[in-house]
Amino acid sequence: PLRRLAANGGEKYGLAQKRGTLKKFLITGRLFFFALMLLSGSTITWAETTKLKISVSGVKGELKTNVYANLSLQQRQAGNTVLDEQTIRRLHRKAEKEIRIALQPFGYYKPTITSKLTPTKEGWLASYQIKPGPPIKLSRVEISIHGAGKNDPALKKWRDGFPLRKGDVLRQQAYEDAKSELLQLLQERGYLERKLEQHEILVDLKNYKATIALSVNTGPRYRFGEVEFQQDILKESMLRRYLPFKTDEPYDANKLLKLQRALSNSGYYQRIDIQPLLDQARDEKIPITVVLEPRKPTRYTTGLGYGTDTGPRISFGIERRYHNYLGYKISGDVKLSEIRQEATARYRIPLERPQTDFSELIAASVNEQTDTSTRRTRKIGISANHKLRYLQRTVAITYEIEDYKIADKSDYSSLLIPLISLQYIKADNRIHTRRGWHARATLKGATELLLSNTSFVQTHFGTTFIHSLGNSGRFIARGEIGVSWLAELAQLPASQRFFTGGDRSVRGYGYASLGPKDDNGKTIGGKHLLTGSVEYEFPIFKKFALAAFFDTGNSFNSFAEFELKQSAGFGLHWFLPVGTLRLDLASAFMEEDKPWRIHLSIGPDM
């Protein structure tokens, strides 16, 4: 009573192996009979068709589904085949065997089946009461990997994650899926000469137990061969910087996917076709062909927006995607709103790892008019950006000239500001984040000893944390802290002072309205900053959510004496492709008249 299942999964879900051949024979026979009767002038009389109802009980879920799928009666009925009484009785006699075969992939080899075929007013009722019995369990699972890949970490991980263990119920589909996954993994890891030396399930019906034996010889692991780029806009040495592998390195298909993502994100190409030429492998090396179709060299962008902080907004941009054969880029943009007008030009130079690292020359002019200050800032600078494992590091130096007016006092500043910042972002989706954390820390300063008319050191840290609560919504927390070291606040220009209040800080207050005030009650900004916010957002429709929030914060000049303003409110959020449209209503309940303020903003979560 030992039964060796077909190694190729031929009995998977119990479908007959020769059904296709039998079907062709029956069709041919029917056509011949029909032609013969026509030639003889005979009259053909078909048996009266009857209605059939099939009932399966005692099993449910995937077992019941597979029983129905394996019943010839069900298949013929579903195919709108003519069923007379003789056919129904014949197929009913086959049903018990078909049910047994249908249960075996799930480990049930000793079912008790009660079948009945009874006439009804409408036709026939075929009923099958099934008691599946105990499932057969695995007494031994033997998996052997040998050859060059026996110590491959990816293959070890596959073996450790094999879905069937000793004592588990035998599930043939789980075995077949795991075997297919192994073959795919061997291909992706470069084991082109792999061979399954043993792959079988042995069922012992007498002792009612089963064993799995799976043995693979990986053969040698092939390596990356030469890479050929087919394109004509960039120097090949520049493109080779994108390669996440070197020639003669062990082959890994995931590195080809990584290369494709890097080239796609570069912005140079609209179509990327990477082909490992497996059939041209020689000396255990796989040549790679990369066919690239460039994007249009120039891109134009426009944008419209509105926010209660800024009023209506409009922007225009132009980018020269590949200024030369080294991949340098030139871009410029203009952003206009009621309170801020900004023009910026950038010249980007890719570095050794162009997918993450670059240097940038920048020139900008900013005019800003708020209820608390006005300024005109012109600056030039250079920065170097590098990816450090989980962090993005920016080192920059800028020279800024600023004319500003705060309250009723006007002044002028010139600053040479070195800066370093570290940024960390981990999010499942940066536009609509369910789980994520964003943090950014910046340190900058200036000295009168070097092209500056004042000296200061300033640090700023900001973070956003988002955690999904499943279908119940999500929790959002934000926080900021800023600290400045300098002799007098009056020495600091408007762009370097801390202000708070508005859509993205302390709602319930106007944009940049919070901070120390002068003798006339006008906000003049502060040396330090501290803000925090907690928000609970819960869905009401597919793309809409309600939110309740609490904000607190202020800017000030001394940690020994400061007051944090507080507000609370609720909002309606609409999830759009470009970000979340937030309509919030907040109350500054610490103020004497407890004013309410509407805030409207749009943008990504991170």
Q: Full-prediction pTM beyond 0.85?
A: no
Question: In the predicted model, what is the mean pLDDT of residues 72-84?
Answer: 80
Give Dmax over CA atoms of the chain in angstroms: 118
Is the pLDDT at 311 greater than 60? The verdict is yes
The boundaries of every CATH 3.10.20.310 domain in the chain are 2-128, 223-294
| Cα(528)–Cα(530) distance, integer angstroms | 7
Q: Residue 77: what pLDDT?
A: 79
Q: Residue 15: what pLDDT?
A: 31
Question: Could you tell me the two tokens for 337?
Answer: 């709103």
Q: Are 486 and 525 in contact (CB under 8 A)?
A: no
For the chain, what percent of residues have pLDDT higher than 70?
91
Question: Could you tell me the two tokens for 105?
Answer: 């992939």
Q: Let me know how long the chain is.
A: 606
CATH topology of domain 2-128: Ubiquitin-like (UB roll) (3.10.20)
| Cα(359)–Cα(193) distance, integer angstroms | 45
| Cα(115)–Cα(588) distance, integer angstroms | 75
Q: Residue 486: what pLDDT?
A: 94
Closest by alpha carbon to 349, among 364, 333, 362? Answer: 362
DSSP string, 457-474: EEEEEEEEEEEE-GGG-E
CATH topology of domain 298-603: Porin (2.40.160)
Q: How many CB atoms lie within 10 A of CB 354?
A: 20
* Residue 45 CB contacts under 8 Å (≥ 6 apart), including other chains: none
Antiparallel, parallel or unpaired: β 209-217 and 137-146:
parallel
Is the pLDDT at 24 greater than 60? The verdict is no
Is the pLDDT at 119 greater than 60? The verdict is yes
Cα-Cα-Cα-Cα dihedral of 137, 140, 141, 145, to 10°?
A: -170
Question: Could you tell me the two tokens for 172?
Answer: 């043939």
Question: In the predicted model, what is the mean pLDDT of residues 433-440?
Answer: 96
Integer CA distances (angstroms), 82 to 47, 122, 194, 520, in order: 9, 15, 49, 96
Q: Are 338 and 307 in contact (CB under 8 A)?
A: no
pLDDT band at 132, cuts 50/70/90?
A: very high
**270, HSE (Cβ side, Cα atoms, 13 Å):** 8
> Taking all residues of the chain, what is their mean pLDDT, rounded to a whole number?
90
Q: Report pLDDT digits (tens) over 226-284.
A: 999 999 999 999 999 999 999 999 999 999 999 999 999 999 999 999 999 999 999 99
pLDDT band at 201, cuts 50/70/90?
A: very high
DSSP string, 250-301: BP-HHHHHHHHHHHHHTSSEEEEEEEE-GGG-BTTEEEEEEEEEEPPSEEEE
Q: Residue 5: what pLDDT?
A: 56
Q: Residue 414: what pLDDT?
A: 97
Is the pLDDT at 20 greater than 50? The verdict is no
Q: Residue 79: what pLDDT?
A: 66
pLDDT band at 470, cuts 50/70/90?
A: confident
Question: Could you tell me the two tokens for 37?
Answer: 């009767």
Antiparallel, parallel or unpaired: β 223-230 and 285-294:
parallel
Is the pLDDT at 166 greater than 60? The verdict is yes
Amino acid at 72: S
Reply yes or no on domain 223-294 having CATH 3.10.20.310. yes
The boundaries of every CATH 2.40.160.50 domain in the chain are 298-603
Q: Residue 472: what pLDDT?
A: 86
pLDDT band at 38, cuts 50/70/90?
A: very low
Question: In the predicted model, what is the mean pLDDT of residues 274-298?
Answer: 96
